[in-house]
Amino acid sequence: MAHKISDECINCGACVSECPVEAISAGNDQYVIDADACTDCGACVDVCPVEAISSE
């Protein structure tokens, strides 16, 4: 089960450098997580300042 970034994302990019498999990238209005690449480690959840990342 992959993680997902909600509309609460403020586009700060804090999560990008924390992802060990580079599953997070910039989308049109916010960052997105590639569900196929995500290993569900949760590293991104811990660094998100607005708690916009959760398990799907």
Pairwise CA distance, residues 31 & 1, whole Å: 18
Instruction: Identify the CA nearest to 50 among candidates 16, 4, 17, 11.
Output: 11
Higher pLDDT, 56 or 17: 17
Task: Compute CA 34 distance to the chain's CA centroid, rounded to the nearest angstrom.
Answer: 9
Q: In 3D, which of 6, 21, 2, 7 has the Cα closest to residue 53? A: 6
- Global confidence as pTM: 0.90
* pLDDT tens per residue, range 8-54: 999 999 999 999 999 999 999 899 999 999 999 999 999 999 999 99
- Spell out the domains of the chain, with CATH numbers in brackets: 3-55 (3.30.70.20)
More confident call, 11 vs 56: 11
At 51, list the tokens: 């708690």
DSSP bridge partners of 26: 31
